[in-house]
Amino acid sequence: AQTVTQSQPEMSVQEAETVTLSCTYDTSESDYYLFWYKQPPSRQMILVIRQEAYKQQNATENRFSVNFQKAAKSFSLKISDSQLGDAAMYFCAYSWYGGATNKLIFGTGTLLAVQP
């Protein structure tokens, strides 16, 4: 069964610094998607970044980038130049490309605090 593990329940970063959130997953599939979602105190779930497993190039969205290591089944999120608005719960998620349902399997989340 596919699983997603986030081993850091909480992290803290100083404003303007860089932080990396870790995620590992387990799957026997070769084609899949990985996501990072952000949940600020408003509780809205917001897509931060998406990575297709067949792409070797790491996805980047402005200050957010990923380090995708397919062989190691690792998918970390790097936030550069951290801002106060980045404070949120971050969820890593997996979706199987061949699956008919588009179901996402989520990790348990990492709560990121940004210190001014």
Partner 1 sequence: DADVTQTPRNRITKTGKRIMLECSQTKGHDRMYWYRQDPGLGLRLIYYSFDVKDINKGEISDGYSVSRQAQAKFSLSLESAIPNQTALYFCATSDRQILYFGPGTRLTVT
Give the residue with the Cβ less far from partner 1, 53 or 79: 53
Give the residue with the Cβ less far from partner 1, 79 or 107: 107
Stretch that binds partner 1, among 20-28, 63-71, 80-88, 102-110 (CB under 8 A): 102-110
If one asks whether residue 57 binds partner 1 (CB under 8 A), the answer comes out as no
What secondary structure does DSSP assign to 30-86, as a single string?
A: SSEEEEEEEE-TT---EEEEEEETT--SPPEETTEEEEEETTTTEEEEEE-S--GGG
If one asks whether residue 35 binds partner 1 (CB under 8 A), the answer comes out as yes
103 token code pair: 């179901």
CA distances to 12, 13, 64, 93, 94 from 4, in Å: 22, 23, 20, 7, 7
If one asks whether residue 45 binds partner 1 (CB under 8 A), the answer comes out as yes
Give the residue with the Cβ less far from partner 1, 71 or 100: 100
Of 16, 98, 6, 85, the residue nearest 53 (C-alpha):
98
The minimum distance between CB 55 and partner 1, in angstroms, equals 13
| Interface with partner 1 in residues 67-96 (CB under 8 A) | 91, 95
CA–CA separation, 21 and 3 (whole Å):
17
Applying CB under 8 A, the residues found at the interface with partner 1 are 4, 9, 33, 35, 42-45, 47, 50, 91, 95, 97, 100-104, 106-109
